[in-house]
Structure 1
Amino acid sequence: MTFSLVARCAETGMFGLAISSSSPAVAARCAYARAGVGAVASQNVTDPTLGPLALDLMQGGMAADEAIAGVSDLGKFIEYRQVLAVDKNGATAIHSGPNSLGIWTQAQGPNVASGGNMLANDSVPQAVVDGFLNSAGHLGDRLIAAMRAGLAAGGEAGPLHSAGLLMVDKVAWPVAELRCDWTEDCPIENIATAWDVYKPQLDAYVQRAIDPREAPSYGVPGDE
């Protein structure tokens, strides 16, 4: 019921993830990233413990493939799960259990991995990877481009209702965490609209957290 990608920006070291599903609030259960460590999507009959587990293993020094092997060994009912990871070096790994739902498949490229289940066809993850690799600019722009490419390739077999975009970079909190938890419209386009609004303000929000004395104005009445 989901397709997603995890990715690393080779220029900045920023990590990101984008995901969409027919289920509600998909990003709340499936999206995980840690600055300087990696990004993980845990999906398909979701076990939310697997994302933090994979990140902990990578933070402890494992590469993405080692971390996914560790998740496969330690996770419960792993035959039902899909878990995607990208590490600090841009290496990727994917576990797709044989009990993943419907049409399920996966694809990988430099600094990017995509997987999905209950897909309209088995070409969607490769379209997501190609959409990322063929795009340029900010990591957020590339994540949106990749998800749009997956949607254009067929997307999920059923209607999409939720989506999310998560990015981390240098600080301990997400620099962007945008979600559409339910809509009858296209949640990917809702996230794209939110990103267009948030992108020009991203650096300012980080600066306000680090040192508000050096931050730009807040843009509210009475602010000078």
Structure 2
Amino acid sequence: MTFSIVGRCAETGQLGIAISSSSIAVGARCPWLRAGVGAVASQNITLPALGPQILDALESGLEPATALDQALTRNGYSQYRQVALLDSQGRSALFTGSQALGVHNAQAGEQCVAAGNLLAERGVVEAMVHAFEQGSGPLAERLLAALQAAMAAGGEAGPVHSAALQVVDDLTWPLVDLRVDWAEQDPIGELEHLWRAYRPQMRDYVTRALDPTRAPSYGVPGDE
């Protein structure tokens, strides 16, 4: 039903998640990130509360495995959950419950973790890790390449309909927060199209926020 890649850029310290699902609006429930703290993908039969709880535990100083175990124990029904996370140092933790849907897998790699359920085959997760590790360029592009590799390896057992990409840097808000909440076909391709449009403007929006006197204009009504 869902596959995701959580990654960290060793050069910049950025953290990010790219995720896709057969369900609507996967980006509204499953990816959770906090600058300087960590990134959590909570999926399968999703409990959105796990993301913020794990990030709070990481911020308090707990190691990833302990933070994950604490959140799962606190909420119960862990047999239905699948969670993948990285902290700001690149340390990882993974969990897949006994009631995970269909074919499922989870794997840690270099500066990344990937997980999926209701997959076409277990190798989909391995393809994501390999693509991320072999990728270059901005973190967002390496994450998107991992999603495309997942699809090339078979993706889900059925069609996917939503996708999301989030990246945090050193700001309190996301540097990248792009979503395709529903597409009949190729939501990952639509997400890549959004990224191509957003990338040239990304840093300008940071400038606009931090120093409005230097804000570039994009010619929209009222923007002079």
TM-score bucket (shorter structure): over 0.9
Instruction: Please tell me the residue identity of whatever aligns with 1:128.
Output: M
Residue 67 (structure 2) pairs with residue 67 (structure 1): yes
Helix, strand or coil at the partner of 1:164: strand
Contact 1:32 1:51 in 2 (8 A): yes
Q: Which residue in the other structure is 1:8 paired with?
A: 8
Distance (Å, rounded) in 2 between the aligned partners of 1:89 and 1:182: 34
**Secondary structure of 1:48's match?**
coil
1:61-113 C-alpha deviation (Å, 9 max, x unpaired): 12222211222322221110001110011111111001000001111112100
**Structure 1 length normalisation: TM-score?**
0.97
> What one-letter code is carried by the residue in structure 1 that aligns with 2:67?
A
Q: Deviations over 1:166-217 (max 9, x none)?
A: 1111111111111111111101111000000101111111111111112222
Runs of 4+ in structure 1 displaced over 4 angstroms?
A: 221-224
**Which residue of the partner structure matches residue 122 of structure 1?**
122
Q: Where does residue 113 of structure 1 map in the other structure?
A: 113
CA distance in 1, matches of 2:54, 2:203: 28
Please, what is the CA RMSD of the aligned residues?
1.2
Corresponding residue number in structure 2 for 1:50: 50
Query: Any unmatched runs of 5+ in structure 2?
Result: none
- TM-score, normalization by structure 2: 0.97
Specify whether residues 223 and 181 from structure 1 end up closer, same or farther in structure 2 by C-alpha distance, changes over 3 A only: closer
The one-letter code matched in structure 2 to 1:214 is R
Aligned to 1:162: 162
Q: Does structure 2 conserve the Cα–Cα contact (< 8 Å) formed by 1:112 and 1:129? A: yes
Contact 1:64/1:91 (CA < 8 Å) preserved in 2? Answer: yes
Matches within 5 A, 1:19-98: 19-98=19-98
**CA distance in 1 between partners of 2:152 and 2:106 (Å):** 17
The share of aligned pairs that are identical, in percent, is 50
